[in-house]
Structure 1
Amino acid sequence: MTALTLASAGILLLLAGWIRAAGTAVARVPRADALRDAADAVSGAEPVADLLEDRDIITPAVGVVASALLIVASVLAMAALVTGLRPSRALALAAGVAVVNLVVGDLVPRRIGRWNPRRVAYGSARLLRLAVGLGGWANDLLPELEQEDGVGEAVTEEEEQERELIDSVLEFAETIVREVMTPRPDMVTISADAPVEELIKLSTQQGFSRIPVVSNGDVVGLVIVKDLLPMLNEGRRPESVAEVMRPVEFVPETKLASALLSELQESHIHQVIVVDEYGDVVGLVTIEDLLEELVGEIADETDDEEELISVADNGWRVDARLPVDDLAEVTGVALPAEEWDTVGGLVLGLAERVPREGEEFAFGPLQFQVTRMQGRRVSEVEVRVNGQIEAV
C-alpha cells in the first residue's frame, strides 16, 4: 500500500512538472510563429496557436493545475512516509518532500521550458489544452469573488499608479529581449574604416554617444564617443573608427529582459547587440530600453519628442513602428496585438507578402494604406475607418 501511494505521488509530481514546463514554454512562443508552423503542418503547432489567441489566461490556469497536483503529491508522500515516525524525523522528512517538490515540480521544469519553447509547447499541446481548460474553470470563480469583496471601494490615483507599476514588473518578468530591442533597420551604425570626422558628424546629427561599428555587413565593435575626447585633447587624431572602437557584447533575442538587465547592471555595460538563433544581428538593446519597460518613457534634455501617429484628413498617419496596442486605443478597434507587435507587422500579416506603396488592406472597419516603404520594410501607413466601430 505504501509503495502504491508513493508511486502515485511520484506520478503526480512528474505530471505537475510536465505541465509547469509546458506552461513556461508556451508563454515564450509568439503566436505568429505557431501559426506559421501550423501552416507548415508542424505537429502540435495548431492547438498551441489556438491557445495563444487568449494568452493572458494560460499562465494562471497552468499555475492552478500544477499547484493542485503538487499539493496532492505532497499529501500522498507524507501519508506514506511519516506514519509511525517521531515528530522531529517527520518534520525533517516534510522539509525534504518540500524541496523535492520545488526542484522537480517547479525549478527544473521552468528551465526545460525555457530551453526549447516551441518543441516543449508543441509536444505538450494536448496536455496544455486540458490544463488550461481545468485551470481556467477554477480561475473563473476569482473575478466574481474579487468583485464582491471590492464593492464600494474607491481606487485613488496613487493606488492606480502602484497597480500599473506592479503590472509592469509582472509583465517584465516574462518579456524577452526581442520585444524591447531596436530592430536592425532602425539601428544607427558606422563603418569600421570611416574617418573620425564622419563619427563626430553622425554623433552630432543623431544624438547618440554609443554607435555600433560594422564591417562587411556585420557588427564588429562599439564606439563610445567619450573615448575619442581624450585623444583629441592630447592632439592625437585617429585615422579611422576602428582605432577607437571597443569589443561589443552579443545576446540572444530570446533572453529574458529581466536577466539581461541584471547582467548589464553587474557588468556596467549600457548597450548590447541582439542576434537570432542563426547568429545574425537582428537589433540592439540598451539599458534605457529595459528600464523604460518598467517605468515608462525616459527622455532627457536632448531628446526630440517623436510622434508615431498624427491625425490626417480621413484618419491617421501612422509610423509603422507604432505598437498595435496603441493604434487599438486610438481607433477604438480591437486588434490582434498577440500576433504582431507593430502596425508594420500587422500590415505584413494582412498582405502575406511584402506590400507595395499605395496598396490597401482591410481589417474589420479599418482600412490600411501603405504610404511609404523602405526597401522590404513598411515605413508609414495611413489608417482610415470604414463603417461602425465596436469598442475595444
Structure 2
Amino acid sequence: MRNPLADTIVNIKPSGIRKFFDLVSEMKDAISLGVGEPDFDTPWHIRDEGIYSLERGRTFYTSNAGLKELKEEIANYLRRRVHVDYDDRHEILVTVGGSEAIDMAMRVMLNPGEEVLIPQPSYVSYEPCTIMAGGKPVIIELKAENEFRLTPEELLEHITDKTKLLVLPFPNNPTGAIMEQKDLEAIAKVIIEKDLYVLSDEIYSELTYKEDHVSIASIPDMQERTILINGFSKAYAMTGWRLGYACGPRKIIEQMTKLHQYAIMCAPTTSQYAAVEALRNGDDDVAMMREAYNQRRRYLVHAFKEMGLECFEPYGAFYIFPCIKEFGMTSEEFASRFLMEEKVAVVPGTAFGDCGEGFLRISYAYSLENLKEALGRMQKFIDRLREEQKDK
C-alpha cells in the first residue's frame, strides 16, 4: 500500500515533556515536577460565569474572531498592563489556546524556506510549528552566563537574507528567564534595522517576580512588527478551557482569522464568557497565585544553593533550571535515574533544545509540601551520586 503519512509530520519528534509524565502516572508514591500546569483550580467566580453561560443557553458559535465583549476586554487589559493599544475589531483574534495562535501566525507569515530565529532552550512547539509551516528553524543557543537572555550580538550573528521572523519566548519556559526593558530596547534596534517581525509569546506575562512584564510591542516602532501571543492558561489557571489570543497588525490578524475560520471556526463559547469575567474581575486571583509561586520560587532557589547545585535565579514563569553537569551524565540519564531511584519526575533540559543538555526543568506549580518532599529526595540522590564519584 502507498504510505498514507506525510514525511514532514513523521520526521518531527514527539514532545520530550510527556514521556516522564506518562511514566510517573503509573508509579505509586511518585511525585511529578514535570508538567507546566498551575496546581490551583480556576477561581470560582470564573467557573461560575462559565456555568451561567451554559444555563442561559449560550452554546452557539461566536464570531470567528471571538466574542465582541471578550476582544474589548483583551484590548482594555493590554492597555492597562503592557501599555499597548489594539483595535479590538481588527487587531485581536481569540484562539484555542496560545498554541493555536503560534501555529497560525507562522502559517500565515512564512513562505517556503524563510527562516525563523528560535532562541533555545524554549517551549517545544516553536520548532515543529516552523517546519509544519514550511519555514526553516534557526536555533539561537542562549547562555546561562547571560541568564538565558537574548543579546543583540547573538541575534545579529544568526540573521541572513532569508530571516523573516524572531520568536521571543519571555518570560521563558523552561528557564524562567525574563527580558527587561533595556534588553528589549537593545534587540529592537536590530529587529528594525534588519526589517524582521517578532512573534512574542507572553503567556507567562503575569508571572514575573523582579519587575512588571514589559512587552516588546510597547517599544517604539515595534507594535507594527509584533504578533503578541497570550492566553488564560497560566495566569488564571484555565489550562483546560483552551483559550488564548493573538494581537498584531490588521493585515496579519485578518489572514490568521481566515485560517482560523476554516480550521477551527471559533474558540469554545463557554470559555470565552468565562474569560470575560477573568479579565474584568480576576486581578486579585492572579496576584494571589503569583505570590504563592514566588514563595515556592524563593524556596527552590535557596534549596539548590544549600545542595550546592549551580542555578541562576529565575524571575519569570514557574520553572527553575538547575545545572547537573557536575555528575557527568546526560540530562536524560539523570532524570531517568532520579525517577527510578527516588520516584520524582523532572524534565531533561534537552526536551527544550540541544543546548538544554546538562540542565533540568523543574516546575514549581506544585504545593510547597510536594516540593519539600521532592527536594528531600533529590538531596539523597545527589549525595549518592557524589559518593559514587568519590569511589571512582
- TM-score, structure 1 length as denominator? 0.23
Larger helix percent: 1
- TM-score, structure 2 length as denominator? 0.23
Greater length-normalized contact order (CA 8 Å, ≥ 6 residues apart): 2
Report which of the two structures shows the higher radius of gyration computed on alpha carbons.
1
